[in-house]
Structure 1
Amino acid sequence: GIVSVIFFILTIFFLNKANALWRIKQWWHAFSQPKFIPPTRQINLLNEWQIIEGRVNKGDEANIKLAIIEADRLFDDLLKKIGYFGDDMGARLKQISREQIPNIDDIWNAHKIRNQIAHQANYHVSQSDAKRAVLAYEKAFKQLDVL
């Protein structure tokens, strides 16, 4: 009698709660996953990337430092655009696994070089180190299908 009605009402109540939790989980999953990259962004990325490569190939220290800074900024902009969040690029990089970007360790190293350039005025970077850093970003862009 009354116990069956109470169990029936409780069952309906908990099923509704479970459905709400499932919807929240689905929303969070959709929100936290990287998003589609619009094709027009790829064109802009290619143009910017050619400028960065030109700077590295010039070979003077000012241009190679600028190339690393610009490549790092371009990669960070892409991370934000495809849905990674955080206070800075380091926070966004921590969310990326080797399955997502196989050369993530190289990206970290390139980002550390960028930080040295940005925070130490007399930091010296060789053209070979600059090429290695820029190549790391290039590989990641290719892995993400934007170059």
Structure 2
Amino acid sequence: MTLLFIIIVTLAVLMLVYMVWSLRNGRRKLSSQAHKKIMALWFAMEQMHDPVRKVMEADAIFDRALKELGYEGALGDKLKAAGPHISNLDAVWSAHKLRNRLAHEPGGAVSDSEVKGALSAFKKALKSFS
């Protein structure tokens, strides 16, 4: 009986350790409600005509998604924390840097290909959270 008790306790501890490890290292997913809200915001952004505004909004939407997933701080801090869970991290960083350039350089121009690349990067990363 003592051996059986030790085996059961050992298995329970191993399962608990695995569950904690999975939660800390697993991919985070948006709740159904948060996913719907993010997708509604994304759809509204896609209807905009100003390419600079599109990049700014996409960046803000991505920031909101990371906040919904429990990441804290500025978007740069969130990207550092979420980095291992974002397959296209370099592209997302480039998109965020484009947003910063547009926000901080008066009259900043952006090409159609830059806008498409940034939106594509944000969208791909968002899909991984659903």
TM-score using structure 2 length: 0.74
Equivalences for residues 67-82 of structure 1 within 5 A: 67-82=54-69
SS in 2 for 1:91: helix
Equivalent residue letter for 1:82:
L
Residue 108 (str. 1) matches residue 93 (str. 2): yes
1:120 corresponds in structure 2 to 105
Q: Over the residues paired in the alignment, what is the CA RMSD in angstroms?
A: 2.2
Contact 1:34–1:84 under 8 Å retained in 2: no
Contact 1:85–1:92 under 8 Å retained in 2: yes
Q: How far apart are residue 72 of structure 1 and its match?
A: 0.4
2:45 corresponds in structure 1 to 52
Summarize the Cα distance change of 1:85–1:33 in structure 2 as closer, same or farther, 3 Å threshold: farther
What are structure 1's unaligned runs of at least 5 residues? 1-25
1:92 corresponds in structure 2 to 78
Alpha-carbon distance in 1 for matches of 2:37, 2:81 = 25
1:39 aligns with one of 32, 42, 62 = 32
Alpha-carbon distance in 2 for matches of 1:111, 1:81 = 18
Q: How far apart are residue 45 of structure 1 and its match?
A: 1.5
Q: How far apart are residue 42 of structure 1 and its match?
A: 1.4
Contact 1:32–1:83 under 8 Å retained in 2: no
1:8 corresponds in structure 2 to none
Contact 1:34–1:82 under 8 Å retained in 2: no
Number of aligned positions between the proteins: 110
Greater Cα radius of gyration, structure 1 or 2:
1
2:11 corresponds in structure 1 to none
Moved >6 Å (runs of 4+): 29-34
Q: Percent identity?
A: 32
1:138 corresponds in structure 2 to 123
Alpha-carbon distance in 2 for matches of 1:65, 1:113 = 10
Q: How far apart are residue 30 of structure 1 and its match?
A: 6.5
